[in-house]
């Protein structure tokens, strides 16, 4: 068999590279197209974001202009809120006596006709001590029943009877007189439930 030499055939060099060259050409063009599309996509996105930035810059200028116009209102609002916070803080120092006093007086009047509020002391924590006087024993018993009712206890977070005092008026000599001038006193200690009343 004759051996022929093809003079047009060029020997491939760089064998290590030739193995990948075809694959690079084959896939490279596909990857190139994909990457180009990615490039176009990022460009479009950048243009869109730039558009939004411009729009927001205009909004920012608009709001800044509004705020400059309303700077007095802003200062007044801050001052108002600051002072109001002080007011609310200091108001907590107040015993807010009258609403609690009124609650107790109306409760007493509906309990027993002979019940009289002798004295009352209320502090800023709504802790209260009050003395109720009665002219007769029945009135006291009637009041004690009322004290245990939910209607009365609803006004208090805590309430306990501190003392019961039976006193006689001075100068009473006869048994009849002493029976007439007897005074019954009940002292209570407790804490009122908070009343969210309007400013007085």
Residues at the interface with another protein (CB under 8 A): 10, 12-14, 17-18, 21, 24-25, 28-29, 31-32, 35-36, 38-39, 42-43, 45-46, 49-50, 52-53, 56-57, 59-60, 63-64, 66-67, 70, 73-74, 76-84, 86-87, 90-91, 93-95, 97-98, 101, 116-124, 133, 198-200
Gyration radius from the chain CA atoms? 47
Query: Residue 61 and residue 1: Cα distance in Å, rounded?
Result: 91
Short-list 100, 105, 125, 130, CA closest to 195: 100
SS (H, E, C) 76-93: HHHHHHHHHHHHHHHHCC
Nearer CB in complex with another protein: 18/154: 18
Least Å distance, CB 184 to another protein, is 14
Taking the complex as a whole, the smallest distance from the CB of residue 103 to another protein amounts, in Å, to 14
Segment holding 184, helix H or strand E: strand 182-192
Question: Min. distance of Cβ 141 from another protein in angstroms?
Answer: 22
Cβ-based nearer residue to another protein, 118 or 148: 118
Angle 29-31-32 (CA atoms, 0-180°, nearest 5)?
A: 60
């Amino acid at each position: 068999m004759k051996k022929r030499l093809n003079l047009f055939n060029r020997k491939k060099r760089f064998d290590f590279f030739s193995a990948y060259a075809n694959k690079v050409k084959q896939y490279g063009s596909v990857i190139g197209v994909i990457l180009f599309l990615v490039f176009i996509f990022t460009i479009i996105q950048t243009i869109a974001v730039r558009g939004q930035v411009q729009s927001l810059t205009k909004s920012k200028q608009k709001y800044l202009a509004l705020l400059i116009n309303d700077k007095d209102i802003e200062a007044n609002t801050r001052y108002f809120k600051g002072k109001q916070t002080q007011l609310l803080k200091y108001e907590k120092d107040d015993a807010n006596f009258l609403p609690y006093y009124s609650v107790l007086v109306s409760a007493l009047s509906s309990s027993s006709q002979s019940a009289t509020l002798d004295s009352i002391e209320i502090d800023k924590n709504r802790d209260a001590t009050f003395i109720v006087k009665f002219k007769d024993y029945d009135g006291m018993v009637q009041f004690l029943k009322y004290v245990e009712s939910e209607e009365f206890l609803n006004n208090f977070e805590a309430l306990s009877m501190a003392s019961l005092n039976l006193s006689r008026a001075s100068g009473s000599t006869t048994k009849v007189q002493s029976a007439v001038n007897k005074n019954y006193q009940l002292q209570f200690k407790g804490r009122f439930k908070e009343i969210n009343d309007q400013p007085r």
